[in-house]
Amino acid sequence: MDDPQEAWLPITESRSGNVVTAVFHLLSSGIGIQALLLPVAFATLGWAWGAICLSLAFTWQLYTIWILVQLHEPIPGSRTRYSRYLQLAIAAFGPRLGKLLAIFPVMYLSGSTCIMLIIKGAGVMELLFKLLCEGGATCDAESLTGAEWFLVFTCMAIALAQRPNLNSIAGFSLFGAMSAIGYCTLIWVLPISRDRPGGVMAGMLDILNANGMIVLAFRGHNLVLEIQGTLPTSLTNPSKRTMWRGVSVSYMIIAMCQFPLAIAGFWAYGNKIPSNGGMLTAFFQFHGHDTSNSVKGLVYLLVVIHCLSSFQIYAMPVFDNLEFRYVSMKNRRCPWWVRFGFRLFFGGLAFFIAVALPFLPRLAPLIGGITLPLTLAYPCFMWILIKKPHQKGHAAEWCLNLGVGCLGIFLSVLLVVAAAWDLAIKGLHASFFKPPL
């Protein structure tokens, strides 16, 4: 906190946040398109095991979030705050091992999430356009190419990304949270109010990949410390109290979105739900004909708004890292034109990768499994290394965190093997520089 550079960087420039802004950020970053695949996992695991695995995954990731919140200020009354995941990893594991373990997962979860938001958001924008012009040959003639839709979405996202710091995008996170709650609710309420497709039943397929879908539906751990870094702290009211209140409220809402989505989606579509797109694809495939264009347009619009809003918060660690390089070299705050240049550079890079690798979402289970320890394992190991419970006579606490951390590493290895095996069997079908039309 005594480092003046902290006041020059986007994540820690403003520490005037509160419970409300923390809830907005957590909801916008914690609910994602991945949640629409939960019914696919239930179609594999069935009712009982699906509910058990979803409950265990929710409890597990909520526990590791609690650890991160506590470790943000590990020593009460000190002026040490770890407002970035990488900083905490270095403090726990040491400079070399901390960077080795944390840099790739943190940058991947920020950068590649933005790339996948471009791919998904642009695709839904195209569907919204075709819905508004009511399809047909004229609509196809006037529509943009896949790369052009990617460019439109990227330009909109970078135009919104000119806010100076994480605390200043709370308004975007509000819209992102509202839109995510909106489409997650609509996408399960509408199917149960209509007739089910014929022949719906449960099936037992790939258990490991199903568990991977459940685990990867929960996201945002790489942003928890950053969000807490926007909160003020004092001896009487440390930031962990405010942050945990925000976490409690936001994850209660996330549970109210994801559990009904998984259960109702599986009830409505069973084994007929497509693995590519999940509930979004299933709804328009089976109920698009008896749903008004206004309702379909609303769902599309909410998805686009959420993608644009999520882009802002997931891009912020990348912006922070770029500006940190400049501040370290120049020892002064970034001028507005340098900040603009960094954001424009990242937007251009993300757009280029999205166009070059439009199949990147197919690799999400594989790379997500590689980065899974950041969510389920590293926080437990960092708690042991920083808090040292075994030296304070808390053997049970030490055993719990060691066991949970090792289990997280083991699960990550299993999910990587399952995802790689799935790709080997089904093939990647890579199409470089060929975005879908």
147: nearest Cα among 357, 388, 379, 425: 357
Angstrom distance (rounded) from CA 231 to CA 161? 21
Q: Which two tokens stand for residue 245?
A: 């209140």
Three-state DSSP string of the chain: CCCHHHHHCCCCCCCCCCHHHHHHHHHHHHCCHHHHHHHHHHHHHHHHHHHHHHHHHHHHHHHHHHHHHHHCCCCCCCCCCCCCHHHHHHHHHCHHHHHHHHHHHHHHHHHHHHHHHHHHHHHHHHHHHHHHCCCHHHHHHHCCCHHHHHHHHHHHHHHHCCCCCHHHHHHHHHHHHHHHHHHHHHHHHHHHCCCCCCCCCCCCCCHHHHHHHHHHCCCCHHHHHHHHCCCCCCCCCCHHHHHHHHHHHHHHHHHHHHHHHHHHHHHHHHHHCCCCCCHHHHHHHHCHHHCCHHHHHHHHHHHHHHHHHHHHHHHHHHHHHHHHHHHHHHCCCCCHHHHHHHHHHHHHHHHHHHHHCCCHHHHHHHHHHHHCHHHHCHHHHHHHHHHCHHHHCCHHHHHHHHHHHHHHHHHHHHHHHHHHHHHHHHCCCCCCCCCCC
| Pair 144, 152: CB distance under 8 Å | yes
First CA to last CA distance, the chain: 49
| Pair 74, 239: CB distance under 8 Å | no
Query: Tokens 């929960």 map to which residue?
Result: 218
Query: Tokens 């037992």 map to which residue?
Result: 204
| Pair 269, 39: CB distance under 8 Å | yes
29: nearest Cα among 375, 339, 297: 375
| Pair 11, 237: CB distance under 8 Å | no
Which amino acid, residue 280? Answer: L
Angstrom distance (rounded) from CA 61 to CA 142? 46
Count of CB atoms within 10 A of residue 325's CB? 10
pLDDT in tens, the chain (437 residues): 556 788 899 999 888 899 999 999 999 999 988 888 888 888 888 888 889 999 999 999 999 999 999 999 877 656 788 999 999 999 999 999 999 898 888 888 888 899 999 999 999 999 898 888 875 556 666 678 889 999 999 999 999 999 999 999 999 999 999 999 999 999 888 888 766 665 555 444 467 778 788 888 888 888 999 999 999 988 888 899 999 999 999 999 999 999 999 998 888 887 788 777 788 888 888 877 778 889 999 999 999 999 999 999 999 999 999 999 999 999 889 999 999 999 999 999 999 999 998 888 888 888 888 889 999 999 999 999 998 877 676 788 889 999 999 999 999 998 888 888 888 887 777 778 778 75
Angstrom distance (rounded) from CA 24 to CA 250? 8
